[in-house]
Structure 1
Amino acid sequence: MTEETVPRQRTPSSDVFASRMSRVARWCAGVSQSRAFEVAIVIAIGANALVLGIETYPDLGTADVLLGSLEWCFRLIFFAEIAIRILAFGRRPQDFFKQGWNVFDFIVIAAVFIPGLHGDPAALRVIRIARVVRLVRFSPGLRTIVAALLRSLPGVGGFLALALVTFYVYGMAGWLIFGKTYPAEYGTIGRAVLTLFVLLSLETLPELIEQGMAMSPWTLVYYVSYVLITVNLLVNILIAVIVNSMEEARRLEMTEGLAADFDEDGDGVPDEIDRIVISRRLDDLRTLLVELERDLRIDRDEGRPRAAPDR
């Protein structure tokens, strides 16, 4: 004979605890979403950056004690910020770590409390400098730029491969043409590639052309073709890749609040794939509207249907 399982009943103390936690979560959510909270954290990050800059000056004297006290104040402020933002998620604090910027903030703030880092001033200073990067999270424009740079990495990888091939070919050609006459610039493949890399700014172009013309007028073909292919073509390709990624990041930023969970994960959280789906559907709707306007012959300027031509 098996014993029947008796459902666990909630005690009054657990109900009181849950109620208090719910009130704390609502309060933390209200604070973390307020504009005053964001402004205060931005000011704290800016003050922290100012203190880091002051510490670079030697012989501060008694100011070292004050700067050390301010550093501990910043640690407590940022620790309280992270705690409030985590408590705002209530019974699901793990949802805080679903966003990349939240993970970055947590690592940067928590790392300064690791005991082993206090014996390494250089590593601790790098972590403190990383706090300044957190300003990106509070600026939608900066977030869009960073997201665009991250999304452009695959395209930039292809661009770098093409650029390396171009640099190598022109570097070898430069070594064959100018290696013996100008060994400081083209004596080795490394020096030749470095010279060509600096030439991307076009600042050294008149000097190099003058050196080449002293050897032969045909060297002008080498420099003109290099400028046309690298400075104009390759750089424009890189700009196009970044601009395209920035446009995609901007569209994702715009649809972030509108995205629903359209994929099959069923987590109810609007992820990047969901926002891409929303963005593409919006583009399809715009295309459909343009086609309908063309079919109905709607005049955008007058706002009324055009009259059909008499036959």
Structure 2
Amino acid sequence: MITGNAPVTRNLIRRFVEHHRFQRFIIAVIVANAITLALETSPTLVAEYGTPLRTLDTIALSIFVVELLFKLGVYRWQFFRDPWNVFDFVIVSIALIPASGPFAVLRTLRILRVLRLVSAVPAMRRVVSGLLAAVPGMASIAALLALIIFVAGVMTTKLFGEISPQHFGHLGRSLFTLFQVMTGEGWPQVARTVMDEAPAAWVFFVIYILVSASPC
């Protein structure tokens, strides 16, 4: 009798977890959980409403666990073939790790549960999928920028290391300075510091900014 009713039960649970109302309920829980986690950053609110906030957090986590158990019961091993299901599983599993002792730092990772909103909202999933599809091209751009910064870093260390050691004293410092210059943050001050002793240095900085900005 139990064996015969099992497929029926699985189908009922499947329709339940795939129903749009259930999906909206999960989205609402995720948003509410995000709000409670944000409220916990206030020492005043925690001192006054700490227990209710922790209770709401526990209820939200329990709902997420039950949802995953339902999906595991319905889809079984097929559950792990969907990357978004694996994403949800990892996020919820992290939240179940005891946040005490050496694992106390993991308590801050509870906020990762908010990222479940990405998997729960189809529009967000499409955006993330599009971004992931663009990763190979983005990686090529990042590699090109890294090469440009490295070449410029070696040049500036040799050219300006003695003039401005605080910015170009060694390769690591030069790379950091050049990354800062590439973002446009404070580069006039860096350039003027060097130009006080090497007036023609502006040529390098103008060319570097134009070249480093072009791949973007």
> Normalized against structure 2, the TM-score is what?
0.85
Deviation of 1:107 (Å): 2.6
- Please point out which of 129, 154, 168 is paired with 1:172: 154
Distance 1:141 1:213 in 2: 51
Secondary structure of the structure 1 residue equivalent to 2:42:
coil
Runs (5+) with no aligned partner, structure 1: 1-15, 236-311
Distance 2:161 2:95 in 1: 52
Distance 1:69 1:206 in 2: 53
- Please point out which of 170, 182, 190 is paired with 1:188: 170
Distance 2:96 2:149 in 1: 46
Distance 1:104 1:203 in 2: 36
Runs (5+) with no aligned partner, structure 2: none
- Please point out which of 162, 182, 188 is paired with 1:206: 188
Post-superposition CA distance 1:227-249 (Å, at most 9, x none)? 121112x22xxxxxxxxxxxxxx
Post-superposition CA distance 1:42-96 (Å, at most 9, x none)? 111111111111212225224221122112211221122112323333xxx2111
Partner of 2:15: 30
Partner of 1:71: 57
Distance 1:228 1:221 in 2: 11
Distance 1:62 1:202 in 2: 45
Greater RCO, 1 or 2 (C-alpha within 8 Å, sep 6+): 2
Partner of 1:288: none
Structure with the greater alpha carbon radius of gyration: 1
Matched, 1:105 2:88: yes
Distance 1:51 1:107 in 2: 21
Partner of 1:242: none
Secondary structure of the structure 2 residue equivalent to 1:180:
coil
| C-alpha distance 61-206 of structure 1, shift in aligned 2 (>3 A) | closer
Amino acid of the residue matched to residue 151 of structure 2? V
Deviation of 1:31 (Å): 1.8
Deviation of 1:139 (Å): 2.6
Distance 1:110 1:217 in 2: 59
Secondary structure of the structure 2 residue equivalent to 1:61:
helix
Distance 1:201 1:181 in 2: 23
- Please point out which of 24, 35, 45 is paired with 1:50: 35
Secondary structure of the structure 2 residue equivalent to 1:144:
helix
More helix by share: 2
- 8 A Cα contact 2:61 2:92, kept in partner: yes
| C-alpha distance 171-118 of structure 1, shift in aligned 2 (>3 A) | same
> Normalized against structure 1, the TM-score is what?
0.62
Distance 1:62 1:20 in 2: 49
Equivalent residue pairs, number: 214
Matched, 1:41 2:26: yes
Partner of 2:69: 83
Matched, 1:231 2:213: yes
| C-alpha distance 111-212 of structure 1, shift in aligned 2 (>3 A) | closer
Distance 2:104 2:194 in 1: 50
Amino acid of the residue matched to residue 64 of structure 1? G
Distance 1:125 1:214 in 2: 47
- 8 A Cα contact 2:31 2:114, kept in partner: yes
